[in-house]
Amino acid sequence: MKMNKTLLLMAAAILFTKISVASTAVSTDTATVLDNFEDATLSGWYKGPRSKEPLVIATEANGNHYLEVESYGPRSGRHPDSDSKLIVNASDQWTGGIFNGMKTLFADMINLGTEDIPMNIAFTSKDGFTAYYSEAVNLPATGEWTHLTFDLSASNFLAKPLKTDFFPEPRPFEEGVTDIGLLRFHSTKNRIDPNKMIAKIGIDNVGLSTASSDVPAVPIPTAIWFFVSGLIGLKSLQNRKAG
């Protein structure tokens, strides 16, 4: 009986310790979802000024709303670039110093096509003179929601001047990131020029985090059961030796 109480006390101590560690990891870094589309509005997202195919707020069977983006490929004479390429832009809350102090931008995405899609983010400086393009993150064609994380460090972006007549050299990343004019998701193989492609994706839960990567979940119940099982096995072995 005394041994059983000891086991319970030790298990409780381990549980408390692991919860404390997990709580510390969560409280150290913050993640904030800025757009989840639950109000069934576009929340300032748009394709482009010449788009003929508007964005859609789609609804899953469970009632969840998300942003649906579709591109139609190189259909000559019908679709401008904003429709032939997989592009979606954001303004409103995604401008100014929104990235200040943040290390990652994250989003849940679902690929509704049959081929994997490289997804990039890009943003412009407020004056529109420079654009910054991230490296691609793969969106697999699984038909399931995938959590994508984009690194917001300077080394992950390629800067390109947009108005070379005025500023032939791009503004440094540190200047552009403090006053953003526009944010974009797009798909491209060379970072800069979006591909003309036939594709459909869903976007949800777009946000920012002060963490450099996702904090993994701590498997508290599993750890405890392994620990307790080991102690019980040790006690059984001791009992057999004593008998």
- pLDDT tens for 140-189 read 999 999 999 999 999 999 999 998 887 789 999 999 999 999 999 999 87
Residue 80 binned pLDDT confidence (cut-offs 50, 70, 90): low
Q: Are 202 and 58 in contact (CB under 8 A)?
A: yes
- The whole-angstrom separation of Cα 33 and Cα 105 is 10
Q: What is the pLDDT of residue 4?
A: 52
Q: Is the pLDDT of residue 56 over 80?
A: yes
> Token digits for 54?
């508007």
CATH class of 29-214: mainly beta
Residue 202 binned pLDDT confidence (cut-offs 50, 70, 90): very high
Residue 18 binned pLDDT confidence (cut-offs 50, 70, 90): very low
Q: What is the pLDDT of residue 242?
A: 53
Element (H, E) at 18: helix 2-28
More confident call, 122 vs 213: 122
Q: Are 156 and 134 in contact (CB under 8 A)?
A: yes
Burial class (CB in 10 A: 0-12, 13-18, 19+), 76: exposed
Residue 137 binned pLDDT confidence (cut-offs 50, 70, 90): very high
- The whole-angstrom separation of Cα 178 and Cα 215 is 26
Mean pLDDT, the chain, rounded, equals 80
- The whole-angstrom separation of Cα 77 and Cα 98 is 38
> Token digits for 87?
């592009």
- The whole-angstrom separation of Cα 186 and Cα 193 is 9
Q: What is the pLDDT of residue 156?
A: 96
Q: Is the pLDDT of residue 16 over 80?
A: no
Percent of all residues in the chain with a pLDDT value above 70, rounded to a whole number: 73
More confident call, 193 vs 185: 185
Q: Which residues contact 224 (CB under 8 A, 6 or more apart)?
A: 11, 14, 15, 18
More confident call, 243 vs 131: 131
Express each pLDDT in 94-121 by its tens digit.
999 999 999 999 999 999 999 999 999 9
Q: What is the pLDDT of residue 67?
A: 98
More confident call, 80 vs 84: 84
Q: pTM of the predicted model, to two decimals?
A: 0.74
Q: Which of 94, 7, 1 is nearest to 44 (CA)?
A: 94
Residue 238 binned pLDDT confidence (cut-offs 50, 70, 90): low
Q: Which of 216, 210, 217, 215 is nearest to 105 (CA)?
A: 210
